[in-house]
Structures are given as C-alpha cells and as structure tokens.
Structure 1
C-alpha cells in the first residue's frame, strides 16, 4: 500500500483537501498535517477534516516519522498551499512539520505537489513557484476546468482533486476525463 502525506495550510479552499482525504484514505496510508489556521478556516468554510482513516500528526511534532528522510513514503500534497507555506518551502525554512516534510520530499526526490489557491499571483509568488518547480515540485494551482460541464461545486472540486490523484499515479473514478464525444 502506498503512503502519502497530505498537508492542509491556511488558505481558502479546504474543501479540496476534504475531498482528497476522502478518496485517498480509502486506498493508501495517509498522514495528515493540518495547521492551526487551516483548522479555523475549515470551521469557517464548514468543512470537516476529521474522521478519515488516516494518521493525524500535529504540525509542531518535529519528531514525527514524516520529518525524516529515512521514513519511506511515496509523496506529499499540500492542499491548499498558502503562499506563506510555499515561500517557506522554497527557502528551506522548515519551521513546522509541513515545511520539513516538504523539504524531505524534495531532497529525497519524492513526488511533492503544492496546490495554491491564490489570485492574482504576484511576481514573488511566481518566482517561488518557478524555483520550486525547478527543485522538483509540481505546482498545481487549484483552478477547475469547465470542459466537463460541471453542474455543482462538488463537480468543480472533483475535477481538481482528480488531477492531483492522476499526478500521484492513483486510480480513481472521480471527475470526468476529457472527451470531445
């Protein structure tokens, strides 16, 4: 069974993390790290991140397994990824478990997906994203497409989460794939 780290940071769009956890926790071993501000945003956005079949790890637990390169896992998704977190990862400023685990992911050459939900993007944001991409991270701005003719917010969320699952190499049946039929 594959192992993943899913980190949830303080940005709007916690519903994307909820859906990713819902799908991924049924087919992989998942370690979840949620920042304090992300918990507040989840409450404000009326999204529940509890109750999934996952290992929940405190953002300040720098002794957690995922903080070490010797702890084997297949990849990490930061969803949503705040610009603060993205900047910290880019500069190697590992002041919490999320930024440390992302640092480990990059240094070990593992799949590291950062999913910001921010707009507009400043020059600083773009430079940080480019630098992280050059370091091996995959940047996936949470920007749903409309070619699948979504009818609900859930359809929009599924489209974005499906792309993250595709990038992890995970099988799924959410979101419609492109077809001009």
Structure 2
C-alpha cells in the first residue's frame, strides 16, 4: 500500500502562504510531508511574510534542500501519493514541462510524472504568455494537473484565509484527501467557512 505521504514544493511565485497552509492542513490529516523550498521562494518568503526558514521547515515531516538531488524524493523508488508545488512559478513550470531537472523541485516533479503519480501545480502568474500556456499544455499532456489558486466566489469567502483554505481543499481533493476546508455545492458549510471566523494573519497561520 502506498504510504500516506506527499511531496510539497514551494517555488518563487507570489503566494508563499499557500505552501505554508498546505503543510498545516496535511499535518492535521496526519499525512507525512517532504518539503523542498527553492532559493527564489526564500526571497518571496522574506518579502511577503514574517516567516523564517526554521518556522516553515518545522511544519513538515522532512525538509530537503533544493540542491540535494540525492534526496529520497529524487528517486522513483520513493513511494508517495504524489506532489504539489504551491505556489508554482513559471520558471519551475518550464523546467517541469521540458524535463530540465536543475533543482530538487523539478527533479521530484519529473519523478512524479514518470511514475504516473499525481502532480499538481498551483501555477501563479497573470497575464499568461504563450510560453506559459504551452508549458501548461505540455505538463497536462504528461499527466500533470494545473490548478491555479483561483478564488471561488460562490463560496462567499469572508476573508483571505477562507479563500486560501478553499483552494487548498480542492487541491487535496485530487489526492483523495478531505481537509474539510472546501465549500461543496449543495453540502453544509464547513467550519472553516464560518463567517464569524476572524481573519488569520500570516503568523496565526503558523
């Protein structure tokens, strides 16, 4: 049986909080996580949040340096449910689309595709160039899933936290994991979507 573990990559696109919150949700679900953060993502972290690398790496079961291509997740023999890159920059998308494994994130994604496991890229960019669109098409043709963090306004989110949680809840659905954060059409409102729930600051998300 495939172990309940997931590879989580955080690349340099805006939206570092998506990766952080994903790690929290997976910890609540008791899913083992293997985290990789790109060098560019560390710059984004510093610009967008008050996090330190030690804070974020502590949320994961295992942390791997982005240049550690000898890590277990770089091998097809490493069994897992798949991989999420949250957020996914256009550079990381391009490396995955072309099979250019210049970092552990793109190598782990390449392994995920070749082993026919679920790969989800939370692509974060707008507007999109033709190169971006072609790279998204290439990844989709290889079996990957492009899942931009697009707000679902039918859920009537009351704050940023609910928008983030809904997007990540839908991503986890793709792995058969229910975080209880996605509002589902025709179903009761989850506790995370309670309008009375206060806005969570980045520090509170930790």
TM-score category of the 2 structures, normalised to the smaller one: over 0.9
After TM superposition, the score normalised by the length of structure 1 is: 0.95
Please show how residues 77-156 of structure 1 align to structure 2 within 5 Å: 77-156=84-163
* 47 and 131 in structure 1: CA distance in 2 versus 1, 3 angstrom threshold: farther
The aligned residue for residue 33 of structure 1 is 36
Partner of 2:8: 6
Q: Verify: 1:44 aligned to 2:51, yes or no.
A: no
1:45-64 superposed matches below 5 A: 45-46=48-49, 48=51, 49-64=56-71
**RMSD over equivalenced CA pairs, Å:** 1.4
Q: SS at 2:79's partner residue?
A: coil
* Number of equivalenced pairs: 181
Contact 1:5 1:77 survives alignment (8 Å): yes
Per the TM alignment, residue 53 of structure 1 is displaced from its structure 2 partner at its CA by 4.1
Deviation of 1:97 after TM superposition, in Å, equals 0.5
CA contact (8 A) 1:14 1:41 kept: yes
Q: Which sections of structure 2, spanning at least 5 residues, go unmatched?
A: 189-206
- Greater gyration radius: 2
Shift, 1:25, TM fit: 2.3
Cα contact 2:8–2:83 (8 A) shared by 1: yes
- The ranges of structure 1 where at least 4 consecutive aligned residues each deviate by more than 4 angstroms after the TM superposition are none
Q: Closer, same or farther in 2 for the Cα pair 1:111/1:154, shift >3 Å?
A: same
* Counterpart-to-counterpart distance in 2, 1:136 and 1:145: 24
Out of 166, 178, 190, the residue aligned to residue 171 of structure 1 is: 178
Unaligned ranges ≥5, structure 1: none
8 Å CA contact 1:14–1:47 kept in 2: the answer is no
Tell me, in whole angstroms, the C-alpha distance in 1 between the residues paired with 2:65 and 2:89: 18
Mapped partners of 2:183, 2:98: distance in 1:
37
- 2:202 corresponds in structure 1 to none
Q: What is the TM-score with the length of structure 2 in the denominator?
A: 0.84
1-structure distance, mates of 2:96, 2:175? 20
SS at match of 1:33: strand
CA contact (8 A) 2:35 2:57 kept: no
